[in-house]
Structure 1
Amino acid sequence: KKYDEEIYNRYRRRRLEELSYNELFSMAERSSPSDNLPLDVLYQSYRSKSIVDIRNNLEDGFVKWFDSHVAQAVKEGRIASAMEDLLRAR
């Protein structure tokens, strides 16, 4: 099972690396708070375009990014309020 998961994660990363900046940015914006792969690929693939966001997120420890993604996931009904409480209790 672990091997299958590794293969899937490598496949997913390669697929994300094929996306344009705008597509990847959009995907990173819509991603779940527990899924940082789109953001990771965005920052690695388009470092110069994302440098301001990278610096801002590093400055606050990704708190604003995390909070906004949790709020968006709750708003869209992707996570329940009980899960929101657990995520925010970090």
Structure 2
Amino acid sequence: MSEATKVQRSVVGRVLSDKMDKTLTVEIKRMVRHPVYGKYIRRSTKLHVHDADNNARAGDTVRIQECRPISRSKSWKLVEIVERSPE
């Protein structure tokens, strides 16, 4: 059997909080179709993300990637800062 590489999910979200050390709170927004009515509904998820260098600031748009659990609440890591906030 050949060595298979695991595909890791990556998503884009907005940083809500950067007050913790090496940790960000990122909001992921998505559109979900209602099962009965077919109308699209906005849904959001807050994730704790590992930011080793404390680079990102609140308001930045970032790309994050799934990884091994780093702590009880963190299993995502910062890949890149897509767009800086204007502040």
TM-score (norm. length: structure 2): 0.21
Larger radius of gyration: 2
TM-score (norm. length: structure 1): 0.20
